[in-house]
Protein backbone atom coordinates (compact mmCIF):
# COMPACT_ATOMS: atom_id res chain seq x y z
CA UNK A 1 0.00 0.00 0.00
CA UNK A 2 1.30 3.49 -0.81
CA UNK A 3 2.03 5.76 2.12
CA UNK A 4 -0.14 8.58 3.40
CA UNK A 5 -0.02 11.87 1.53
CA UNK A 6 -0.49 15.57 1.92
CA UNK A 7 -2.58 17.30 -0.71
CA UNK A 8 -1.76 20.92 -1.46
CA UNK A 9 -4.84 22.41 -3.11
CA UNK A 10 -4.34 25.82 -4.65
CA UNK A 11 -7.69 27.55 -5.06
CA UNK A 12 -9.40 30.81 -5.92
CA UNK A 13 -9.24 31.70 -2.23
CA UNK A 14 -5.90 30.48 -0.97
CA UNK A 15 -4.01 27.27 -0.30
CA UNK A 16 -5.49 24.35 1.63
CA UNK A 17 -3.31 21.51 2.91
CA UNK A 18 -4.95 18.20 3.79
CA UNK A 19 -3.34 15.14 5.35
CA UNK A 20 -4.59 11.57 5.00
CA UNK A 21 -4.82 9.67 8.29
CA UNK A 22 -5.95 6.05 8.43
CA UNK A 23 -8.45 6.48 5.64
CA UNK A 24 -9.70 9.88 6.76
CA UNK A 25 -8.57 13.42 5.99
CA UNK A 26 -7.54 16.28 8.24
CA UNK A 27 -7.09 19.87 7.17
CA UNK A 28 -3.74 20.92 8.61
CA UNK A 29 -3.17 24.38 7.12
CA UNK A 30 -4.82 27.25 5.26
CA UNK A 31 -2.67 30.05 3.85
CA UNK A 32 -2.97 33.05 1.51
CA UNK A 33 -6.74 33.21 1.98
CA UNK A 34 -7.03 36.42 -0.03
CA UNK A 35 -4.73 35.15 -2.77
CA UNK A 36 -5.23 33.29 -6.03
CA UNK A 37 -2.97 30.25 -6.34
CA UNK A 38 -1.90 29.56 -9.90
CA UNK A 39 1.18 27.31 -9.73
CA UNK A 40 2.76 24.75 -7.43
CA UNK A 41 5.57 22.20 -7.39
CA UNK A 42 7.70 20.49 -4.78
CA UNK A 43 10.61 18.19 -4.00
CA UNK A 44 10.20 14.44 -4.25
CA UNK A 45 13.26 13.74 -2.11
CA UNK A 46 12.18 16.19 0.61
CA UNK A 47 8.37 16.21 0.55
CA UNK A 48 8.11 18.93 3.20
CA UNK A 49 9.57 21.43 0.68
CA UNK A 50 6.99 22.95 -1.66
CA UNK A 51 7.01 26.05 -3.89
CA UNK A 52 3.82 28.05 -4.40
CA UNK A 53 3.04 30.80 -6.91
CA UNK A 54 0.59 33.45 -5.72
CA UNK A 55 -0.59 35.69 -8.55
CA UNK A 56 0.28 39.38 -8.26
CA UNK A 57 2.50 38.52 -5.30
CA UNK A 58 5.38 36.09 -5.69
CA UNK A 59 6.82 32.63 -5.18
CA UNK A 60 6.76 31.18 -1.68
CA UNK A 61 8.61 28.22 -0.17
CA UNK A 62 7.69 26.03 2.77
CA UNK A 63 10.18 23.75 4.53
CA UNK A 64 7.67 22.39 7.04
CA UNK A 65 4.88 20.96 4.85
CA UNK A 66 2.83 24.14 4.68
CA UNK A 67 2.90 25.29 8.30
CA UNK A 68 4.88 28.40 7.38
CA UNK A 69 5.91 30.11 4.14
CA UNK A 70 8.53 32.65 3.10
CA UNK A 71 8.64 34.59 -0.13
CA UNK A 72 11.67 33.74 -2.26
CA UNK A 73 10.72 35.60 -5.45
CA UNK A 74 8.66 38.75 -5.94
CA UNK A 75 6.45 39.16 -9.00
CA UNK A 76 3.30 37.97 -10.73
CA UNK A 77 4.27 34.29 -10.74
CA UNK A 78 2.24 32.08 -13.08
CA UNK A 79 4.42 28.94 -13.35
CA UNK A 80 6.97 27.11 -11.23
CA UNK A 81 8.85 23.88 -11.99
CA UNK A 82 11.45 21.96 -10.01
CA UNK A 83 14.11 20.42 -12.25
CA UNK A 84 13.46 16.65 -11.93
CA UNK A 85 17.21 15.94 -12.26
CA UNK A 86 18.39 18.48 -9.65
CA UNK A 87 15.97 19.67 -7.02
CA UNK A 88 18.09 22.69 -6.19
CA UNK A 89 17.21 24.09 -9.62
CA UNK A 90 13.90 25.96 -9.77
CA UNK A 91 12.34 27.67 -12.80
CA UNK A 92 9.79 30.47 -12.50
CA UNK A 93 7.68 32.08 -15.22
CA UNK A 94 5.83 35.33 -14.71
CA UNK A 95 3.41 37.81 -16.26
CA UNK A 96 4.35 39.51 -18.56
CA UNK A 97 6.52 36.81 -20.13
CA UNK A 98 9.89 36.52 -18.40
CA UNK A 99 11.67 33.38 -17.20
CA UNK A 100 13.99 32.96 -14.21
CA UNK A 101 16.12 30.18 -12.74
CA UNK A 102 17.51 29.52 -9.27
CA UNK A 103 20.41 27.12 -8.72
CA UNK A 104 20.14 27.17 -4.92
CA UNK A 105 16.56 26.31 -4.07
CA UNK A 106 15.22 29.82 -4.49
CA UNK A 107 17.76 31.80 -2.50
CA UNK A 108 19.01 33.67 -5.59
CA UNK A 109 17.75 34.08 -9.14
CA UNK A 110 18.97 34.90 -12.62
CA UNK A 111 16.79 35.91 -15.55
CA UNK A 112 17.04 33.81 -18.69
CA UNK A 113 17.30 36.87 -20.88
CA UNK A 114 17.50 34.86 -24.09
CA UNK A 115 13.69 34.71 -24.00
CA UNK A 116 13.65 38.45 -24.65
CA UNK A 117 16.03 37.98 -27.61
CA UNK A 118 13.45 36.05 -29.61
CA UNK A 119 12.60 37.69 -32.95
CA UNK A 120 10.08 40.53 -32.94
CA UNK A 121 7.71 38.53 -35.16
CA UNK A 122 7.57 35.85 -32.46
CA UNK A 123 7.00 38.28 -29.60
CA UNK A 124 4.32 40.07 -31.62
CA UNK A 125 2.12 37.00 -30.98
CA UNK A 126 2.35 37.42 -27.21
CA UNK A 127 -0.90 38.84 -25.87
CA UNK A 128 -3.89 38.02 -23.69
CA UNK A 129 -7.53 38.58 -24.66
CA UNK A 130 -8.71 40.01 -21.34
CA UNK A 131 -7.59 43.25 -19.71
CA UNK A 132 -4.88 44.20 -18.94
CA UNK A 133 -3.89 42.04 -21.96
CA UNK A 134 -0.60 40.82 -20.45
CA UNK A 135 0.60 37.45 -21.65
CA UNK A 136 2.27 35.04 -19.22
CA UNK A 137 4.18 31.79 -18.84
CA UNK A 138 1.74 28.93 -18.24
CA UNK A 139 3.93 25.79 -17.93
CA UNK A 140 7.65 24.97 -17.88
CA UNK A 141 8.70 21.45 -18.87
CA UNK A 142 12.23 20.30 -18.05
CA UNK A 143 12.97 17.03 -19.82
CA UNK A 144 13.65 14.43 -17.10
CA UNK A 145 16.28 12.68 -19.25
CA UNK A 146 18.13 15.82 -20.36
CA UNK A 147 17.69 18.99 -18.27
CA UNK A 148 19.24 21.10 -21.01
CA UNK A 149 16.01 20.65 -22.99
CA UNK A 150 13.30 23.09 -21.91
CA UNK A 151 9.85 23.67 -23.38
CA UNK A 152 7.72 26.59 -22.15
CA UNK A 153 4.00 27.14 -22.77
CA UNK A 154 2.88 30.74 -23.22
CA UNK A 155 -0.66 32.01 -22.64
CA UNK A 156 -1.10 33.45 -25.20
CA UNK A 157 1.98 33.11 -27.34
CA UNK A 158 2.68 29.49 -28.27
CA UNK A 159 5.64 27.30 -27.30
CA UNK A 160 9.32 28.18 -27.02
CA UNK A 161 12.18 25.67 -26.74
CA UNK A 162 15.78 25.70 -25.56
CA UNK A 163 18.47 23.03 -25.94
CA UNK A 164 21.00 24.81 -23.69
CA UNK A 165 19.22 25.31 -20.34
CA UNK A 166 17.64 28.56 -21.43
CA UNK A 167 20.54 30.50 -22.93
CA UNK A 168 18.98 30.55 -26.41
CA UNK A 169 15.42 29.95 -27.55
CA UNK A 170 13.35 29.21 -30.61
CA UNK A 171 9.64 29.33 -31.28
CA UNK A 172 8.18 25.85 -31.92
CA UNK A 173 4.49 26.69 -32.33
CA UNK A 174 4.08 25.61 -35.96
CA UNK A 175 0.77 23.86 -36.64
CA UNK A 176 -1.03 25.40 -33.65
CA UNK A 177 -3.43 28.03 -34.97
CA UNK A 178 -4.60 29.46 -31.62
CA UNK A 179 -1.64 30.09 -29.34
CA UNK A 180 -3.30 29.70 -25.93
CA UNK A 181 -1.06 26.88 -24.67
CA UNK A 182 -1.54 25.18 -21.31
CA UNK A 183 0.56 22.06 -20.79
CA UNK A 184 3.38 20.23 -22.59
CA UNK A 185 5.26 16.99 -21.97
CA UNK A 186 7.19 14.30 -23.77
CA UNK A 187 6.13 10.69 -23.61
CA UNK A 188 7.93 8.96 -20.73
CA UNK A 189 11.62 8.25 -21.44
CA UNK A 190 11.38 9.63 -24.98
CA UNK A 191 12.72 12.68 -26.78
CA UNK A 192 10.95 11.90 -30.07
CA UNK A 193 7.30 12.23 -29.02
CA UNK A 194 5.71 15.31 -27.46
CA UNK A 195 2.15 16.31 -26.60
CA UNK A 196 0.59 19.68 -25.90
CA UNK A 197 -2.81 20.78 -24.56
CA UNK A 198 -4.24 24.10 -25.75
CA UNK A 199 -7.45 26.08 -25.53
CA UNK A 200 -8.51 24.93 -28.99
CA UNK A 201 -6.86 21.61 -29.62
CA UNK A 202 -4.71 18.70 -28.49
CA UNK A 203 -1.55 18.09 -30.52
CA UNK A 204 1.39 15.70 -30.88
CA UNK A 205 4.78 15.98 -32.57
CA UNK A 206 7.87 13.84 -33.04
CA UNK A 207 9.86 17.09 -33.20
CA UNK A 208 8.07 20.28 -32.11
CA UNK A 209 10.47 22.26 -34.28
CA UNK A 210 8.98 20.56 -37.36
CA UNK A 211 5.38 21.34 -36.44
CA UNK A 212 2.46 19.92 -34.49
CA UNK A 213 -0.40 17.69 -35.68
CA UNK A 214 -3.83 17.39 -34.15
CA UNK A 215 -4.46 14.22 -32.14
CA UNK A 216 -8.15 14.45 -31.29
CA UNK A 217 -9.83 11.28 -32.57
CA UNK A 218 -12.62 10.41 -30.13
CA UNK A 219 -12.86 13.72 -28.29
CA UNK A 220 -16.26 15.36 -27.77
CA UNK A 221 -14.64 18.38 -26.11
CA UNK A 222 -12.33 21.00 -27.60
CA UNK A 223 -10.68 22.75 -24.61
CA UNK A 224 -7.70 20.98 -23.03
CA UNK A 225 -5.68 21.48 -19.86
CA UNK A 226 -3.55 19.18 -17.69
CA UNK A 227 -2.63 15.66 -18.78
CA UNK A 228 -0.68 12.82 -17.14
CA UNK A 229 0.87 9.49 -18.10
CA UNK A 230 0.03 6.36 -16.10
CA UNK A 231 2.52 3.48 -15.90
CA UNK A 232 2.34 0.60 -18.35
CA UNK A 233 4.06 -0.98 -21.35
CA UNK A 234 2.38 1.73 -23.42
CA UNK A 235 1.60 4.48 -20.92
CA UNK A 236 -2.05 5.41 -20.55
CA UNK A 237 -2.83 9.12 -20.91
CA UNK A 238 -5.53 11.05 -19.06
CA UNK A 239 -6.41 14.59 -20.08
CA UNK A 240 -8.69 17.20 -18.53
CA UNK A 241 -11.09 18.87 -20.98
CA UNK A 242 -14.08 21.16 -21.33
CA UNK A 243 -16.47 22.31 -24.04
CA UNK A 244 -15.19 25.52 -25.63
CA UNK A 245 -12.99 28.00 -23.82
CA UNK A 246 -13.88 29.92 -20.62
CA UNK A 247 -15.32 32.85 -22.55
CA UNK A 248 -18.34 30.64 -23.24
CA UNK A 249 -18.87 29.40 -19.69
CA UNK A 250 -21.48 31.97 -18.69
CA UNK A 251 -24.00 29.61 -20.31
CA UNK A 252 -26.25 27.55 -17.96
CA UNK A 253 -24.27 24.36 -18.55
CA UNK A 254 -20.99 26.14 -17.65
CA UNK A 255 -17.73 24.34 -18.47
CA UNK A 256 -19.03 20.86 -19.38
CA UNK A 257 -15.85 19.34 -17.92
CA UNK A 258 -14.77 15.79 -18.76
CA UNK A 259 -11.81 13.41 -18.56
CA UNK A 260 -10.61 11.43 -21.60
CA UNK A 261 -8.17 8.53 -21.87
CA UNK A 262 -5.85 7.20 -24.56
CA UNK A 263 -3.99 3.89 -24.50
CA UNK A 264 -2.13 4.45 -27.79
CA UNK A 265 -0.25 7.75 -27.40
CA UNK A 266 -3.19 9.95 -28.45
CA UNK A 267 -4.12 7.89 -31.50
CA UNK A 268 -7.61 7.36 -30.06
CA UNK A 269 -9.47 8.88 -27.11
CA UNK A 270 -12.42 7.73 -25.03
CA UNK A 271 -14.35 9.56 -22.34
CA UNK A 272 -13.98 7.89 -18.94
CA UNK A 273 -15.36 8.18 -15.44
CA UNK A 274 -18.88 9.31 -16.26
CA UNK A 275 -20.86 8.85 -13.07
CA UNK A 276 -21.80 10.51 -9.82
CA UNK A 277 -18.70 12.67 -9.48
CA UNK A 278 -18.05 13.25 -13.20
CA UNK A 279 -21.62 13.57 -14.50
CA UNK A 280 -22.51 13.62 -18.17
CA UNK A 281 -23.18 17.36 -18.04
CA UNK A 282 -20.69 18.63 -15.47
CA UNK A 283 -20.62 22.36 -14.77
CA UNK A 284 -17.16 22.22 -13.20
CA UNK A 285 -13.86 22.22 -15.08
CA UNK A 286 -11.15 19.67 -14.27
CA UNK A 287 -8.31 22.16 -13.85
CA UNK A 288 -5.61 19.91 -12.42
CA UNK A 289 -4.42 16.31 -12.55
CA UNK A 290 -1.78 15.06 -10.11
CA UNK A 291 -0.40 11.63 -9.22
CA UNK A 292 0.47 9.87 -6.00
CA UNK A 293 4.23 10.34 -5.40
CA UNK A 294 4.81 6.63 -4.74
CA UNK A 295 2.14 5.06 -6.95
CA UNK A 296 1.61 7.10 -10.14
CA UNK A 297 -1.30 4.86 -11.12
CA UNK A 298 -3.33 6.75 -8.48
CA UNK A 299 -4.58 10.03 -9.98
CA UNK A 300 -6.15 13.03 -8.26
CA UNK A 301 -8.30 15.58 -10.11
CA UNK A 302 -8.98 19.13 -8.95
CA UNK A 303 -12.31 20.66 -10.04
CA UNK A 304 -13.74 24.15 -9.95
CA UNK A 305 -16.84 25.82 -11.37
CA UNK A 306 -14.93 28.94 -12.33
CA UNK A 307 -12.86 30.43 -15.11
CA UNK A 308 -9.17 30.98 -14.33
CA UNK A 309 -9.21 34.11 -16.46
CA UNK A 310 -11.73 35.69 -14.13
CA UNK A 311 -9.86 35.06 -10.91
CA UNK A 312 -10.12 38.72 -9.90
CA UNK A 313 -13.92 38.72 -10.27
CA UNK A 314 -15.48 37.96 -6.89
CA UNK A 315 -18.75 36.89 -8.54
CA UNK A 316 -16.94 33.99 -10.21
CA UNK A 317 -15.80 32.30 -7.01
CA UNK A 318 -17.27 28.84 -6.86
CA UNK A 319 -17.13 25.43 -5.22
CA UNK A 320 -14.25 23.02 -5.64
CA UNK A 321 -13.78 19.27 -5.37
CA UNK A 322 -10.91 16.79 -5.40
CA UNK A 323 -11.53 13.35 -6.89
CA UNK A 324 -9.31 10.26 -6.94
CA UNK A 325 -9.12 7.31 -9.34
CA UNK A 326 -7.22 4.05 -8.83
CA UNK A 327 -8.36 2.32 -12.05
CA UNK A 328 -6.91 4.51 -14.81
CA UNK A 329 -9.88 6.84 -14.81
CA UNK A 330 -12.71 4.33 -15.11
CA UNK A 331 -14.21 5.46 -11.81
CA UNK A 332 -13.66 8.36 -9.43
CA UNK A 333 -14.41 8.98 -5.77
CA UNK A 334 -14.76 12.39 -4.13
CA UNK A 335 -12.49 13.14 -1.20
CA UNK A 336 -14.38 14.62 1.79
CA UNK A 337 -12.71 18.02 1.51
CA UNK A 338 -14.50 21.38 1.63
CA UNK A 339 -12.80 23.72 -0.84
CA UNK A 340 -13.30 26.82 -2.97
CA UNK A 341 -12.83 26.43 -6.72
CA UNK A 342 -9.72 24.29 -7.20
CA UNK A 343 -6.97 25.46 -9.59
CA UNK A 344 -3.70 23.55 -9.03
CA UNK A 345 -2.71 20.41 -7.13
CA UNK A 346 0.44 18.96 -5.65
CA UNK A 347 0.50 15.62 -3.83
CA UNK A 348 3.44 14.81 -1.55
CA UNK A 349 4.37 11.92 0.69
CA UNK A 350 3.47 12.61 4.29
CA UNK A 351 6.78 12.43 6.11
- Please spell the DSSP secondary structure of 147-181, one letter per residue: TT-EEEEEETTEEEEESSTTSS-EE--TT-SS-BE
Q: What is the pTM of this model?
A: 0.95
Q: Phi/psi of residue 40, each to 5°? A: -160, 145
Q: What is the pLDDT along the chain (351 residues), one digit of tens a residue?
A: 467 899 999 998 999 999 998 789 999 999 999 899 999 999 999 999 999 999 999 999 999 999 999 999 999 999 999 999 999 999 999 999 999 999 999 999 999 999 999 999 999 999 887 777 789 999 999 999 999 999 999 999 999 999 999 999 999 999 999 999 999 999 999 999 999 999 999 999 999 999 999 999 999 999 999 999 999 889 999 999 999 988 888 888 889 999 999 999 999 999 999 999 999 999 899 999 999 999 999 999 999 976 554 433 445 557 899 999 999 999 999 999 999 999 999 999 986
In whole angstroms, give the CA distance from residue 230 to residue 237: 6
Q: How far apart are the first and last CA of the chain?
A: 15
How far is it, in rounded angstroms, from Cα 228 to Cα 261? 10
Q: How far is C-alpha 323 from the chain's CA centre?
A: 16
Q: Provide the sign of the torsion angle of the four alpha carbons 320, 325, 330, 336, taken in this order.
A: negative
List of domains in the chain: 5-349 (2.130.10.10)
Amino acid sequence: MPSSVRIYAGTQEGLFVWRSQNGSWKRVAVSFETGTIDSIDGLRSRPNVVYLGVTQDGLYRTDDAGKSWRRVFEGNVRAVTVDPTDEQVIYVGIEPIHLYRSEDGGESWEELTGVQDLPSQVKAKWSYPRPPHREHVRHIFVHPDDPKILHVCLEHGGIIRSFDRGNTWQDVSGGIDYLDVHHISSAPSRKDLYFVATARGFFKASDPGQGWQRAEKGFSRDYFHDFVFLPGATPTMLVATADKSPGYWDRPERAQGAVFRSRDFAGNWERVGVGKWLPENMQQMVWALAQHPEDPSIVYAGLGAVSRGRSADATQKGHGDILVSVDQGDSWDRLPLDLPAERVLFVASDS
